[in-house]
């Protein structure tokens, strides 16, 4: 049975070009990039090229890119560094809809004496800039607000936030794990101090990420040890995966305009078909400011987990929310923050697309989803 994979916000397949680029650095060129001889220096040269490729995608300079093991490490490092750079300031501003890598880290900091302001969102998942402005205190060290939400795809007003914070001395970090490679990003135009990204969200392998740190920003490494990453992140570099990340960034930089148009077309096809054939369906989130590849739809009086299991039996992969929150029987924290009605909140599906999805796949998936929802509704006691 053909696999139809529609959960690309959870992870993506490794692009064939990425796999090919990584191969030599997994077998023939296995030297340590810290070694003085040419067998190691060749690896270091490959890492430097990848650093340039990552930087180019987000409008940064190569020496502003630090390779990490994942987006979570990048987020944790950004927050820890910002707080270390401002030891006398004990206030953090974030949102109620952040990824657990930010949300839970901030919760831990509350137990260590920090005050955290969790900004609300409205029913469309949007942030009110006035709430942010009102939350700023003389004691504020850091504002960490995601670029795009992993469950709804809603894009936050990062440029406006950067303008608001410019000149305040408050460090501005964004978790852009879901946005990099899906929408054009330029860190300089956005007035960002730090940005996190993850390879496995843009067709690079798992286990590799990066953190952008603006030149001149005080920085304190999370991992202490050797001199790797110019002393900013200890540990022998994951050279093959770094090459993979660089290749993935170069690929998507060349394709991004075409991809945005293609994915928007597929996403709109999904939404229009489901809404037209299944009354009582709701698109969750701002339909104007969002990622092109993501839709989150609630079906009233249906259990989303039941839909997921029945689709899984047909080899169709979707999600009921974030992969990092799977296994929880509680309603989505994100949808709860948006006040999605009780009749709909448990019946939500997140469908997230990639360049490798086809119109034929979408048609086949829709031919399964619609009767599944109708069947479950017929079985519902409500």
What does the alpha-carbon distance between residue 292 and residue 277 come to, in Å, rounded to a whole number? 22
For residue 106, indicate whether it is catalytic: no
DSSP character for 37?
A: S
Q: CB–CB of 182/352 below 8 Å?
A: no
**What is the C-alpha separation between 147 and 175, in angstroms, rounded?**
6
3-class SS at 121? coil
List the structure tokens of 13. 């397949």
Three state DSSP letters for 221-251: CCCCCCCHHHHCCCCCCCHHHHHHHHHHHHH
d(CA 254, CA 251) in angstroms, rounded, equals 5
- How far, rounded to the nearest angstrom, does the alpha carbon of residue 167 sit from its chain's CA centroid? 27
Centroid of chain to Cα 172: 17
Distance between CA 329 and CA 326 in Å, rounded? 8
Q: Are 24 and 180 in contact (CB under 8 A)?
A: no
Q: Could you tell me the sign of the dihedral formed by the alpha carbons of 264, 266, 267, 269, in that order? A: positive
Q: Assess contact for 289 and 121: CB atoms under 8 A.
A: no
Residue 138 has a CB neighbour count (10 Å cut-off) of 6
Phi and psi, residue 285, nearest 5°: 110, 170
* Given 106, 249, 317, 324, the catalytic residue: 324
Q: Is the backbone of residue 325 left (phi > 0), alpha (psi -120 to 50) or beta?
A: alpha
Best CA proximity match to 108, nearest among 122, 120, 119, 94: 94
Q: Which residues pair with 140 in a beta bridge?
A: 91
User: CA quadruple 286, 131, 194, 207: dihedral positive or negative?
Assistant: negative
Active site residue ranges: 324
């Amino acid at each position: 049975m053909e696999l139809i994979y529609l959960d690309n916000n959870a992870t993506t397949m490794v692009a064939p070009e990425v796999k090919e680029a990584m191969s030599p650095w997994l077998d023939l060129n296995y030297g340590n990039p810290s070694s003085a001889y040419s067998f190691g220096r060749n690896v270091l040269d490959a890492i430097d090229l990848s650093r340039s490729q990552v930087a180019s995608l987000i409008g940064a300079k190569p020496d502003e890119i630090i390779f990490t093991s994942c987006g979570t490490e990048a987020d944790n490092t950004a927050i820890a560094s910002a707080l270390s750079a401002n030891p006398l300031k004990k206030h953090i501003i974030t949102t109620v809809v952040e990824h657990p890598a930010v949300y839970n880290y901030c919760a831990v900091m509350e137990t260590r004496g920090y005050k955290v302001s969790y900004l609300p969102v409205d029913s469309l998942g949007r942030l009110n800039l006035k709430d942010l402005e009102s939350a700023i205190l003389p004691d504020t060290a850091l504002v960490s607000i995601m670029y795009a939400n992993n469950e709804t795809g809603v894009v936050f007003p990062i440029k406006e936030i950067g303008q608001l914070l410019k000149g305040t001395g408050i460090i501005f970090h964004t978790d852009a794990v879901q946005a990099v490679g899906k929408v054009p990003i330029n860190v300089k135009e956005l007035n960002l101090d730090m940005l996190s990204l993850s390879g496995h969200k843009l067709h690079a392998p798992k286990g590799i990420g990066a953190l952008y740190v603006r030149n001149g920003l005080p920085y304190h490494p999370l991992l202490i040890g050797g001199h790797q990453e110019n002393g900013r992140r200890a540990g022998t570099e994951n050279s093959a995966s770094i090459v993979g990340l660089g290749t993935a960034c170069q690929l998507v930089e060349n394709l991004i305009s075409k991809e945005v148009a293609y994915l928007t077309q597929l996403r709109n096809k999904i939404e229009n078909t489901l809404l037209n054939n299944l009354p009582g369906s709701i698109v969750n989130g701002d339909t104007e400011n969002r990622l092109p590849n993501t839709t989150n739809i609630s079906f009233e009086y249906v259990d989303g987990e039941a839909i997921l299991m029945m689709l899984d039996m047909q080899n169709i992969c979707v999600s009921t929310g974030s992969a990092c929150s799977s296994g929880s029987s509680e309603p989505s924290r994100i949808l709860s923050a948006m006040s999605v009605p009780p009749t709909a909140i448990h019946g939500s599906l997140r469908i997230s697309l990639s360049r490798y999805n086809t119109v034929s796949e979408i048609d086949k998936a829709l031919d399964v989803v619609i009767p599944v929802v109708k069947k479950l509704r017929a079985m519902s006691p409500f």
